[in-house]
Amino acid sequence: MLHGLNPEQLQAAQCLEHCLVVACPGSGKTKTLAAKAAFLLSQGARVAAVTFTRDAALELRGRTVALAGEGSNDRLLVGTFHSIDMLMAFPKARTPFGTSILSRMRSPFGSRNWDIVREGERRGYVRRALAEAGIKLDMDEASRLIEDAKANNRESALEGSHRTFIATYQQILSRNGQIDFQDILLKTNAALADGSLTPLAVEYLLIDEYQDTDEVQYEWIKMHAAAGCRLTCVGDDDQSIYGFRRALGFACMERLVKDLKADTILLGVNYRCHGEILGAAGKMVQSNRGRIDKILRANKGLGGAVEWERFGDFELESEACLVGVEDALRDQATIAVLARSNRRLDLIEGLLVARDLPYRRADGESVLDKPEVALFGSLIETVAQCTPRAIDQVLGWAGVFEADLRQIRQLFGNTVRIGAKQDFERTDLSSDAIASWTDFAKRHAAWSDLNEKGLYRIMLHGMKEWLTLHAKDEKSKRMVEIAASIFSPSGISPRERLEGLRLASRQRRTREAATGQPVSLMTAHSSKGLEFDRVWILGAEDEAWPSKNGSLEEERRLMYVAMTRARERLTVSAAGQRPTSPFVAESGIPRAPEGKYRSRAGG
Q: Is the pLDDT of residue 156 over 60?
A: no
Question: Is 437's pLDDT higher than 60?
Answer: yes
Residue 115 pLDDT > 80, yes or no? Answer: yes
Lowest mean pLDDT among 11-15, 91-95, 209-213, 429-433: 91-95
What's the rounded mean pLDDT across residues 134-161?
80
Question: What is the Cα–Cα distance from 284 to 557, expressed in whole angstroms?
Answer: 9
567 has a pLDDT exceeding 50: yes
Residue type, 576: G
Angle at 303 between CA 299 and CA 304, to 5 degrees: 95
Residue 183 backbone phi and psi in degrees, to 5: -65, -30
Q: What whole-number distance in Å separates Cα of residue 147 and Cα of residue 245?
A: 9
Query: What mean pLDDT comes out for the span 253-273?
Result: 96
Q: Report which of residues 485 and 291 the model is more confident about.
A: 291
User: Residue 195: which region, alpha, beta or left (left: phi > 0; alpha: psi -120 to 50)?
Assistant: left
Mean pLDDT on 31-40: 97
Q: Residue 601 above 70 pLDDT?
A: no
Residue 155 has pLDDT above 70, yes or no: no
The pLDDT tens digits of the residues spanning 404-419 come to 888 888 888 878 888 8
Instruction: Measure CA 82 to chain center.
Output: 20
Q: Which residues contact 352 (CB under 8 A, 6 or more apart)?
A: 322, 325, 359, 519, 521
pLDDT per residue as tens digits for the range 191-225: 999 999 999 999 999 999 999 999 999 999 999 99
In this model, does residue 55 exceed pLDDT 80?
A: yes
- By residue count, the chain amounts to 603
The per-residue pLDDT for 512 is 44
What is this structure's pTM? 0.84
Region 413-428: mean pLDDT is 85
pLDDT of residue 485: 84
Average pLDDT of 434-461? 92
Q: What is the pLDDT of residue 483?
A: 87
pLDDT-derived band at 513, boundaries 50, 70, 90 = very low
Structure confidence by residue, pLDDT tens digits, 365-398: 677 778 888 889 888 888 877 777 788 888 888 8
Band of residue 94 on the pLDDT scale cut at 50, 70, 90: confident
**Mean pLDDT across 486-513:** 70
Q: What is the pLDDT of residue 516?
A: 61
pLDDT for residue 505 is more than 70: no
pLDDT averaged over every residue in the chain: 90
The pLDDT score that the predictor gives to residue 519 is 92
- pLDDT higher for 140 or 226? 226
The answer to whether 60 touches 33, Cβ cutoff 8 Å, is yes
DSSP result, 57-110 = HHHHHHHHHHHH-GGGGGGEEEEEHHHHHHHHHSTTS--SS-HHHHTT---SS-
